[in-house]
């Protein structure tokens, strides 16, 4: 991992903010050097609306189009670390959003399949992936709750919206020893849970933190 604030893509004046962010993540328990390096070298301002670009390196969630958000860097780091990614992993992401989390996953896995229900968000994210030269991200406009059965099974699955209950359809698309990380719950505060396959069709379930995510909705969005 490079030195604090050495991100060559960070504009002049943001290196100190980036260094503070990385130190903050470490102090909160995001300690995997590969995850920290992926965050450090991913230009969050690229994924942030113009109105909020000055806040791109804050450890806070920010609004994006379609009533969605770009997640807090701590939550991105926590969820990415919880996946226990391996370089050859095939990952399914539910909810591309701005593409920020997708980009970080793409630096740590062989292939990332991402499903987004808002066509506007998906088009914008695809433009960012192209601009950043990402070649291992495969996108789909669709209902994230149904996963991507044609590409299953996956080594890892990350859900970036709150499922109301155990996401059985997604768990069925995991390899026997796979890992799924998702916020679970119907209220404004949800439980971030990790499901780890036991190789026999069952799962060990751990609660990692309390989080706040937009809900995982059925179907695709109708946009004007």
The reply to whether 35 falls in a domain is yes
Q: What span, in angstroms and rounded, lies between the C-alpha atoms of 211 and 126? A: 27
The reply to whether 84 falls in a domain is yes
Range of the domain at 205: 15-211
The reply to whether 116 falls in a domain is yes
Q: What span, in angstroms and rounded, lies between the C-alpha atoms of 200 and 65? A: 41
55 near 70, Cβ under 8 Å? no
The reply to whether 90 falls in a domain is yes
* Per-residue pLDDT tens digits of the chain, which is 224 residues long: 334 344 544 444 678 889 999 999 999 999 999 999 999 999 999 999 999 999 999 999 999 999 899 999 999 999 999 999 999 999 999 999 999 999 999 999 999 999 999 999 999 999 999 999 999 999 999 999 999 999 999 999 999 999 999 999 999 999 999 999 999 999 899 999 999 999 999 999 999 999 999 889 888 887 64
Enumerate the active-site residues. 71
155 near 92, Cβ under 8 Å? no
First to last CA, the chain: 44
The reply to whether 78 falls in a domain is yes
97 near 69, Cβ under 8 Å? yes
The reply to whether 222 falls in a domain is no
How distant, in Å, are the alpha carbons of 39, 49, 73, 126 from that of 78?
11, 23, 8, 24
Residues 6+ apart with CB under 8 A from 150: none
21 near 35, Cβ under 8 Å? no
State the CATH number of the domain containing residue 25: 3.40.50.150
Total domains in the chain come to: 1
For the entire predicted model, the pTM comes to: 0.91
The reply to whether 201 falls in a domain is yes
The reply to whether 7 falls in a domain is no
- Where residue 68 falls (left for φ over 0; alpha for ψ -120 to 50; beta otherwise) is beta
Q: Which of 95, 98, 94 is nearest to 125 (CA)?
A: 98
What token pair was written down for 89? 């992993």
């Amino acid at each position: 991992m490079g030195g604090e604030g050495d991100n060559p893509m960070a504009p002049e004046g943001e290196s100190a903010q980036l260094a503070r962010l990385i130190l903050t993540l470490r102090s909160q328990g995001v300690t995997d050097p590969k995850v920290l390096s992926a965050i450090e070298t991913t230009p969050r301002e690229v994924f942030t609306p113009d109105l909020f670009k000055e806040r791109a390196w804050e450890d806070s969630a920010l609004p994006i189009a379609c009533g969605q958000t770009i997640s807090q860097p701590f939550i991105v780091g926590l969820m990415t670390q919880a996946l226990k990614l391996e370089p050859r992993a095939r990952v399914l992401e539910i909810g591309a959003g701005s593409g920020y989390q997708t980009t970080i996953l793409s630096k740590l896995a062989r292939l990332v399949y991402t499903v987004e229900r808002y066509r506007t968000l998906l088009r914008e994210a695809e433009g960012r992936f192209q601009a950043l030269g990402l070649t291992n991200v495969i996108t789909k406009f669709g209902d994230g709750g149904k996963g991507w059965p044609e590409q299953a099974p996956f080594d890892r699955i990350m859900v970036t919206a709150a499922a109301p209950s155990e996401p059985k359809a997604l768990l069925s698309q995991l390899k026997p020893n796979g890992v799924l990380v998702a916020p679970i719950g119907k209220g404004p505060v949800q439980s971030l849970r990790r499901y780890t396959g036991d190789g026999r069709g069952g799962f060990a379930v751990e609660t990692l933190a309390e989080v706040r995510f937009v809900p995982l909705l059925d179907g695709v969005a109708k946009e004007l």
